[in-house]
Amino acid sequence: MTAIAWLAVAIFAGVYVLIATERVHRVAAALGGAALVMGLGIVKSEDAFYSHETGIDWNVIFLLLGMMLVVGVIRRTGVFEYLAIRSAKLAQGRPFGVLVLLILVTAGASALLDNVTTVLLVAPVTLLLCDRLGLQPIPFLMAEALASNIGGAATLVGDPPNIIIASRADLSFVDFLVHMLPIVLIILAVFIVMARWLFRDALHGDPTRAKSLMALDEREAITDRPLLLRSSIVLAAILLGFLLQRQTGVALSVVALVGAGLLLLLSPLHASDLVEDIEWETLLFFIGLFILVGALVHVGALDRLAEALAGVTGGAVVPTLLVILMGSAVVSAVVDNIPYVTAMSPVVASLIASNPELGRDGGLWWALALGADLGGNATLVGASANVVIVGVAARNGLHITFRTWLRYGIPTAVMSLAISVPYVLWRYA
């Protein structure tokens, strides 16, 4: 590699270390790194802003932006609080039944919304339910974060790494439903069975407290019925747009933005309030990462990494699938999966280019998605949803330690991987 290529690698590695160690805010690290590679002339502004190969992926940015706006409206309707309380009442307050239904609600919501938003919506109502039932809330909160990471893997919009992969690999919403949804449903079903054993200590409630739960009026949680109806229609239209993407040829980002615009017009909420709901930090983080990774692509560093990986696996399908799946799970267990997937996508593209068998039915892409999405469950810092749920717990006087997380997270991540490996080999090898 050339000196300029090594420089780009060193900058990226430095940024990655800063993000992983949290010594600097991740946005500052990513944008600082992007400024360096542009300032040093490693990438030019045309490459960074206008190139599909080495620049900012505006499809990803605008898809995220559109969905953030949509979620901003829907979250204010109280529908998630309604669903959580309704579920607990359906389970008649039986602890395991409540746990199962909360897992299903969280995983289902995470498939459509981002995981952090989902757990932020479900956690407070979970605390209320546990209070009423006299249950220890920590296992319930943790189960929701784990379920959120599992459910988010199911769809293109469920987890940011999936959005990146879809954009880089030109995969559609339907592709994700065909390839990711079945395995996610299996993992979720096993997780539910496992939860009975995993959280067994927390599933002993006082049956007399169920009456107190049944007294909660979930209908009161809906704050704006007309808005709920309108946003449900718009969300359904967005999903239809996602499903028909191949037929219509309209990019997902455009579908999300049109939906968001429509909701802004139909909603009585002030646009300025909704704009506050946009996670600008996340969008800026993505922008910085795209420029940084673009620099690595530009100097050919990721092609070299792909060649090195191919050297290790001999370019054969089975070892490459396994290395990408398991390697991604291990890396994502300890560091943010967004920069990992951003950097690995060009590597995977390069591996497929050198051996098209690896890309049969998108096999290597699904291995990357499964590893990156599900590996994050292993540790407290492995996924943003985990960090958020620990924060919500702490604010309510509940302390989830790193060790406590490992006790539940490692078995969940190992189980997910143990199911994903034969699935990937069976479908794509």
The tokens describing 418, both together, are: 């143990």
In angstroms, give the least distance from the CB of 130 to another protein: 10
- Closer of 131 and 279 to another protein (Cβ): 131
- Closer of 31 and 221 to another protein (Cβ): 221
Could you give the CA distance from residue 55 to residue 222 in angstroms, rounded to a whole number?
Answer: 42
Q: Is 186 exposed, middle or buried (0-12, 13-18, 19+ CB in 10 A)?
A: middle
8 Å CB contact between 126 and 88:
no
8 Å CB contact between 285 and 338:
yes
- Closer of 21 and 396 to another protein (Cβ): 396
- Closer of 71 and 419 to another protein (Cβ): 71
Site residues for another protein per CB under 8 A? 78, 81, 85, 123-125, 127-128, 131, 212, 215-218, 220-221, 223, 392, 395-397
**Phi, psi at residue 397, to the nearest 5°?**
75, 20
- Closer of 116 and 180 to another protein (Cβ): 116
Alpha carbon distances (Å) from 80 to 105, 116, 146: 8, 14, 18
In angstroms, give the least distance from the CB of 219 to another protein: 8
- Closer of 3 and 215 to another protein (Cβ): 215
Q: Is 219 exposed, middle or buried (0-12, 13-18, 19+ CB in 10 A)?
A: exposed
Q: How far apart are the first and last CA of the chain?
A: 32
In angstroms, give the least distance from the CB of 26 to another protein: 24
8 Å CB contact between 93 and 334:
no
In angstroms, give the least distance from the CB of 210 to another protein: 13
The tokens describing 60, both together, are: 């990803």
- Closer of 87 and 162 to another protein (Cβ): 87
8 Å CB contact between 120 and 74:
no
In angstroms, give the least distance from the CB of 220 to another protein: 4
8 Å CB contact between 373 and 157:
no
In angstroms, give the least distance from the CB of 213 to another protein: 10
8 Å CB contact between 272 and 72:
no
**Phi, psi at residue 53, to the nearest 5°?**
-80, -45
8 Å CB contact between 206 and 134:
yes
- Closer of 51 and 212 to another protein (Cβ): 212
In angstroms, give the least distance from the CB of 112 to another protein: 21
DSSP 8-state symbol, 40: T
Q: Which residue has the tokens 């096999």?
A: 363
In angstroms, give the least distance from the CB of 81 to another protein: 6
